[in-house]
Amino acid sequence: MITKLVEVHGDTLSRARTYSLREVYVNPDHVVAMRPDNRMVNMLKEGYLPDELDERQRFTTIHMDRGHSGIDITVVGDVELIREKLFNSKRLLKG
Report the DSSP beta bridge partners of residue 23.
6
Is pTM beyond 0.75? Reply is: yes
Residue 90 has pLDDT above 60, yes or no: no
Given a contact cutoff of 8 angstroms between Cβ atoms, the answer to whether 58 and 78 are in contact is: yes
pLDDT digits (tens, 9 = 90+) for 51-85: 999 999 999 999 999 888 889 999 999 999 999 99
Residue 92 has pLDDT above 60, yes or no: no
Q: Rounding to the nearest 10 degrees, give the CA dihedral for residues 41, 43, 48, 54.
A: 10
CB 23 within 8 A of CB 6: yes
Report the C-alpha gap between 75 and 56 in whole angstroms: 15
Coil vs helix vs strand at 28: helix
What integer is the mean pLDDT of 18-28? 93
Contacts of 85 (CB under 8 A, 6+ apart): 3, 5, 77
Mean predicted lDDT score pLDDT of the chain: 88
> What integer is the mean pLDDT of 18-32?
93
As a whole number, mean pLDDT of residues 7-17 equals: 75
